[in-house]
Amino acid sequence: MIKQAIILAGGKGTRLKNILNGKPKPLVEINNKPLLKYQIDLLIKYKIKSIIILANYKIEQIEDFVNHEYSNQNIKVLDDGISPLGTGGCLIKYNKIFEKKYIVLYGDTYLDIDFSKMIEFHLQKKSDLTLFTHPNSHPFDSDIVIESENKVLEIKPYPHKKDFFYKNLVNAALYIVNKNIFADKFIINKNITDFAKDLIPQIINNNKKVFSYNSKEYIKDCGTENRILSVINDLKNNIPFKSRKISLKKIIFIDRDGTLIKSVDQLNKIEQVEIFDNSFEAIKILNKKGFVVALVTNQPVIARGELSIEGLKNIHDFIEWELGKNGAYLDQIKFCPHHPHKGFDGEIVELKINCECRKPKTQLIQEVIKEFNGDLKNSWIIGDTTVDIKTGKNSGLRSILVKTGFAGKDRKYNVEPDFIFNDILESVNYIINDNN
């Protein structure tokens, strides 16, 4: 088991100087409580027995705080030197005194994480380095993680090129580290070495096992006044608690074509994607209120051979990136690649089956409910077809039909939605008001 955590707390907090009142950044207060105290209390809750704080700026204030608040705990404050070494350089400097496996967190993040689950993932994967990852509302200025089946292949660091887009999966700056990853020689910058930008690529290139732990749990950077205000607002709305693994979550299932984006017959190119203007605001509202947002879509173009799985991934990556540019994100995307009718030129025979994942069957819904510990009775599906409404009926979801796309005129099923609204934004506003 992993029993040690390293808190990287060397920042000066220049962007927070108006509210720090002469304190170092880790002691910035959120609801009259130092950020560092939130972090240490959480680590102690999950039985992390040894905590090392690496600092330099106004280190004596951090030492005084620890001595006053945690005199009976095994917490050390170490000076990483007069010249800042960066988040990577200070880890390498002290790595020899660390335990074999340890957690790394940054001193400017507020988090509410079940460390036992992340540790379990790290050990099961036999990982050398595990990154906590999640979608966020600003992927365009974040480090993007490229992974396959949780294995990290590459980090795309910020800044990104203007035409760049990718799946919204962000490195949240929380890690579990095996000490031995630093046994290899690293190229260290003369002054500051960043863990994510400088070291992780080298760790991957050294054939170490690096994995992505993707979680809905709450973690936010507190590096600016606006971000601290955002955390305070989230605490007021109980968002960190709602995001916990054990919390029942209200899930909004959203159809893609005709609901989130304009309907195009057999859409198979990124150039055909046009997101409804109201979709950005609708998804953003759900994000801020702590709902899980899951896109569920039938994509028979795969079975018909008109689009590859990789091509569909690119389309969905583009949609995620465009949402992110407007401050919104999806928590999950699920699609069915099958189609039951055979006999078409170019079709993929093995995908021409009567499956359990094609809406209105419920496999995709069930998978998301299980993944996020969904509160089925208080979850919804929003769509433009009777297929979506029938999916809701079959799954036990409340349903909304929107007047965009087919507006229910597909007439495949004789079903009535619980509600009908003009578009996705009207639908979301009703759901939000219904939950107040």
98-135 residue pLDDT tens: 999 999 999 999 999 999 999 999 999 999 999 999 99
**Residue with the two structure tokens 């407007």:** 326
Q: Answer for the pair 297, 261: CB distance below 8 angstroms, yes or no.
A: no
Residue 362 CB neighbours (<10 A): 18
pLDDT at 383 over 90: yes
> Is residue 255 annotated as part of the catalytic site, yes or no?
yes
Q: Which pLDDT score is estimated for 82? A: 54
pLDDT at 186 over 80: no
Q: Give the span between the Cα atoms of 125 and 404, in whole angstroms.
A: 44
Q: pLDDT above 90 covers what percent of the chain?
A: 81
Amino acid at 57: Y
pLDDT at 83 over 80: no
Q: Which pLDDT score is estimated for 250? A: 97
Q: Answer for the pair 249, 292: CB distance below 8 angstroms, yes or no.
A: yes
Q: pLDDT above 70 covers what percent of the chain?
A: 97
Which 8-state DSSP code applies to residue 197? Answer: I
Identify which of 189, 183, 152, 188 has the alpha carbon closest to the alpha carbon of residue 170. Answer: 152
Q: Which pLDDT score is estimated for 50? A: 97
Token pair recorded at residue 213:
């732990």
CB contact set of 33 (below 8 Å; sequence gap of 6+): none
pLDDT in tens, 342-368: 888 889 999 999 999 999 999 999 999
Q: What is the average per-residue pLDDT within 334-343?
A: 94
CB contact set of 284 (below 8 Å; sequence gap of 6+): 137, 326, 327, 328
pLDDT at 84 over 80: no
CB contact set of 22 (below 8 Å; sequence gap of 6+): none
Spot the catalytic one: 108, 143, 198, 257.
Answer: 257
Q: Give the span between the Cα atoms of 77 and 65, in whole angstroms.
A: 10
Long-range contact pairs involving 89-96 (C-beta distance under 8 Å, separation at least 24): 89/188, 89/189, 89/192, 89/193, 90/8, 90/10, 90/54, 91/6, 91/8, 91/54, 91/177, 91/182, 91/195, 91/199, 92/182, 92/186, 92/188, 92/193, 92/199, 94/6, 94/52, 94/54, 95/179, 95/182
Higher-confidence residue of 357 and 188: namely 357
Q: Answer for the pair 293, 286: CB distance below 8 angstroms, yes or no.
A: yes
- How confident is the prediction for the chain on average, in pLDDT? 94
Q: Give the span between the Cα atoms of 358 and 257, in whole angstroms.
A: 15
Q: Answer for the pair 303, 288: CB distance below 8 angstroms, yes or no.
A: no
Spot the catalytic one: 255, 331, 384, 388.
Answer: 255
- Three-state SS at 406: coil
DSSP string, 334-375: EEE---S----TT--GGG-S--SSSTTSSHHHHHHHHHHTB-
pLDDT at 231 over 60: yes
Q: Give the span between the Cα atoms of 424 and 401, in whole angstroms.
A: 9
pLDDT at 17 over 60: yes
pLDDT band at 436 (very low <50, low <70, confident <90, very high): low
Amino acid at 96: K
Q: Answer for the pair 240, 220: CB distance below 8 angstroms, yes or no.
A: no
Identify which of 197, 173, 172 has the alpha carbon closest to the alpha carbon of residue 186. Answer: 197
Q: Which pLDDT score is estimated for 14? A: 80
pLDDT at 189 over 80: no
> Is residue 331 annotated as part of the catalytic site, yes or no?
no
Q: What is the average per-residue pLDDT within 247-266?
A: 97
Q: What is the average per-residue pLDDT within 396-425?
A: 97
Q: Domains of the chain (ranges plus CATH)?
A: 4-227 (3.90.550.10), 248-434 (3.40.50.1000)
Beta bridge partner(s), residue 383: 401
pLDDT at 190 over 60: no
Q: What is the average per-residue pLDDT within 406-430?
A: 97
Pairing of strands 170-178, 129-134: antiparallel
Among 217-226, 252-261, 415-424, the range scoring the smallest mean pLDDT is: 217-226
Q: What is the average per-residue pLDDT within 268-294?
A: 97
Q: Which pLDDT score is estimated for 349? A: 94
pLDDT at 187 over 80: no
